[in-house]
């Protein structure tokens, strides 16, 4: 196997492209904003790599697909939607200072996209390489999952350019994750005149929260976390309805089945209350076995590189579940994903771009 030679990558050029992408805000579920973002992503790819990037329309917004041509061998996978609402940029503009780039989406995951594109640009022959940048990863990838799986199976290897793990490591495993919505129906009544005539949905919801939280098994990596709740209308009305939203993370298919069965079996504690559950563990676990071969290559390219299994999910969960070799966390080194202190470490940008290029070269010549 020939080894890709590390070459100089212009950090200033990467920062210019990163600024371009960050300054076009791209919140999930905003098709108009995502359409503008997709055009900008496509332009960066075309300017740096040539060819034509295709915008794949979806109800969530456009996904961006680029192919170098030739027999598909490796898919670089990312997303251009972010969790930040329109207007965040005004409060937190793109800035470069003290060795960091900051701004909405720099770490999750626009920095990784830019690094990957610039890394690919160092290859003499990018044939067999595809890039897919989706518009709905942050909200479950419902419109992009089929396309992701199609291209992953066609290519046979996936490099996910999500942000690096803490300390700059790559992500060799991920928990499966999903969201459940539990709706409780009770009966309203006057809280002062006849409280006993009602069926208090808030009290029922309180019982359910305790039952649901008890489903967690941290000893095997399963976390079950009620995160959002709502109930009631007025302070003198027995609540007729309540909802509870629950975040779930699992490490194994057996735990996925157990948790989904347990939610389906939730039963009310109060007479006449009813419960409706929707949701599932929509992202299957990404087992560490899926990354073994690619991680070994990454360690040869960058000795001392650490691999970590993490709790957060990505589109790499889908590709790994298909049995396609997948290595994640190849994007920006930094931190603060989904938070106001989000940042990217500038000194690591060139090294990460070369790491992606080296992995692509290795897959091409395997």
- For residue range 80-102, what is the model confidence (pLDDT) as tens digits? 999 999 999 999 999 999 999 99
pLDDT for position 4: 63
- Residues of the chain above pLDDT 70, percent: 98
The predicted model gives 167-189 an average pLDDT of: 97
Structure tokens at 361: 């070269």
The predicted model gives 164-186 an average pLDDT of: 97
pLDDT for position 1: 43
Q: What are the distances in angstroms from CA 234 to CA 188, 192, 195?
A: 11, 12, 13
Q: Which residues contact 132 (CB under 8 A, 6 or more apart)?
A: 63, 64, 65, 75, 76, 77, 78, 147, 148, 151
Binning pLDDT at 50, 70 and 90, where does residue 5 land?
low
Residue 51 pLDDT exceeds 50? yes
Residue 171 pLDDT exceeds 80? yes
Domains by residue range for the chain, with CATH? 11-175+286-364 (3.40.630.10), 176-283 (3.30.70.360)
Residue 178 pLDDT exceeds 60? yes
- Residues of the chain above pLDDT 90, percent: 97
pLDDT for position 7: 73
Whether residue 105 contacts residue 84, with contact meaning beta carbons closer than 8 Å, is answered with: yes
């Amino acid at each position: 196997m020939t080894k890709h030679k590390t070459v100089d990558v212009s950090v200033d050029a990467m920062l210019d492209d990163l600024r371009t992408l960050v300054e076009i805000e791209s919140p999930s579920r905003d098709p108009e904003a995502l359409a503008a973002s997709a055009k900008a992503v496509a332009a960066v790819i075309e300017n740096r790599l040539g060819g034509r990037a295709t915008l794949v329309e979806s109800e969530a917004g456009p996904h961006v697909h680029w192919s170098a041509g030739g027999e598909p061998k490796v898919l670089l996978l990312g997303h251009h939607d972010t969790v930040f609402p329109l207007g965040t940029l005004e409060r937190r503009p793109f800035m470069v200072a003290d060795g960091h780039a900051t701004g909405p989406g720099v770490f999750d995951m626009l920095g990784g996209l830019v690094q990957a594109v610039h890394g690919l640009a160092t290859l003499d022959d990018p044939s067999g390489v595809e890039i897919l940048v989706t518009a709905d990863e942050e909200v479950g990838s419902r419109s992009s999952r089929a396309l992701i799986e199609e291209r992953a199976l066609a290519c046979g290897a996936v490099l996910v350019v999500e942000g690096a793990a803490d300390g700059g490591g790559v992500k060799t495993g991920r928990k499966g994750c999903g969201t459940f919505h539990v709706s409780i129906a009770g009966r309203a009544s006057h809280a002062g005149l006849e409280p006993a005539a009602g069926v208090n949905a808030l009290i029922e919801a309180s019982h359910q929260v305790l039952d649901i939280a008890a489903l967690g098994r941290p000893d095997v990596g399963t976390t079950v976390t009620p995160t959002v709740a709502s109930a009631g209308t007025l302070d003198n009305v027995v609540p007729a309805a309540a909802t509870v939203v629950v975040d779930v993370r699992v490490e194994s298919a057996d735990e996925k089945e157990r948790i989904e069965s347990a939610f389906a079996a939730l039963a009310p504690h109060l007479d006449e209350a009813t419960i409706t559950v929707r949701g599932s563990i929509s992202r299957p676990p990404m087992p560490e076995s899926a990354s073994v071969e690619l991680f070994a290559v990454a360690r040869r390219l960058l000795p001392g590189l650490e691999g970590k299994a993490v709790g957060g999910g990505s589109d790499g969960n889908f590709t790994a579940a298909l049995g396609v070799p997948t290595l994640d966390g190849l994007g920006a080194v930094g931190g603060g994903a989904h938070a106001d202190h989000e940042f990217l470490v500038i000194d690591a940008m060139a090294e990460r771009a070369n790491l992606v290029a080296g992995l692509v070269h290795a897959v091409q010549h395997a």
